[in-house]
Amino acid sequence: MTEEALVRQLKEGDKTSFDLLYEKYKNMALHTAYLITGDLPGSEDVVQDTFVKVWLHCRELKEDSGFKAWMMQILVRTAYRSGKKKSRELPDEEILQKADKGQSFSSMEQVIAREEAEIIAGAVRALPIKQRTVVVLYYYQEYKISEIAAMLGVLEGTVKSRLHTARKMLRGSLTSDPGMIVREPV
């Protein structure tokens, strides 16, 4: 069944269609909320609020084909509001979990790559929420400037400005780290 057909049925109150759409988008939504809020339990709350709003307000969606953009708009705005209330920093234990996660690095090149990734991740986390939100949507979700502007309800110029500020701040953070060689274009 196509997504449009699922959305049509959802608008008629079909719970199974809602469940299928949730399964399809739950992790993408969670990742976006997590990167914006920097808080895992909080990002689950954001996803919860988002899908409850999706169920309650789905009849307000005009174009069935626009479900994903509409859902993401709800999510991003909810995450943004949630993230504003909370600290930008991850709890120490979450940072340690991240640091300990997964891969074993054997070569010096891999060790450097890992350090570099951690520095970039830390720099993104340290961005103010306005800038961090556009970085997540632009770099991670690969939305266009115009799409991000629609999601956030701001002008395209505002998105460009926030991206520019974010790049500048990232560059500042990374060049202040002695181990980091930055060749980031502005």
Partner 1 sequence: MRERENWKEKIKNVLALECDGVTASRDLKDRIDRQILESQKEAGNMKKFSMKKLVIGVAAGCLLVSGGVFATGHAVSLSTHSFLPNAYRSYSDLGKAERELGYTADAVESFSNGYEFERMIVDEWQGEDETGNAVYTFKQLDITYGRKGEEKVSLTAEKPVETPVRDRAPGAVRQVGDITLYYDVTTFKFVPPDYQLTEEDQANLERDDFTISYGSDEVQIQQSSHVTWNKDGISYQIFGFDLSLSADEMFDMAEEVMGTK
Site of interaction with partner 1 (CB under 8 A): 9, 12-16, 19, 22, 26-27, 30-31, 34-35, 40, 44, 47-48, 51-52, 55-56, 98, 101-102, 117, 120-121, 124, 135-136, 139-140, 142, 183-185
Q: Compute the least distance from the CB of residue 13 to partner 1, in Å.
A: 3
Q: Compute the least distance from the CB of residue 14 to partner 1, in Å.
A: 6
Nearer to partner 1, 47 or 148 (CB): 47
Q: Compute the least distance from the CB of residue 9 to partner 1, in Å.
A: 8
Q: Which two three-digit tokens encode residue 92?
A: 């120490």
Q: Compute the least distance from the CB of residue 97 to partner 1, in Å.
A: 9
* The 3-state secondary structure of 130-144, one letter per residue: HHHHHHHHHHHCCCC
The answer to whether the CB of 76 falls within 8 A of the CB of 36 is: yes
Q: Compute the least distance from the CB of residue 77 to partner 1, in Å.
A: 18
The residues, ordered by sequence, that sit 6+ positions from 50 with a Cβ below 8 Å of its Cβ are 29, 33, 71, 74, 75, 78
Nearer to partner 1, 144 or 153 (CB): 144
Nearer to partner 1, 153 or 175 (CB): 175
Nearer to partner 1, 117 or 155 (CB): 117
Question: Which residue shows structure tokens 């074993």?
Answer: 104
Nearer to partner 1, 22 or 156 (CB): 22
The answer to whether the CB of 136 falls within 8 A of the CB of 36 is: yes
Nearer to partner 1, 56 or 108 (CB): 56
Q: Compute the least distance from the CB of residue 66 to partner 1, in Å.
A: 21
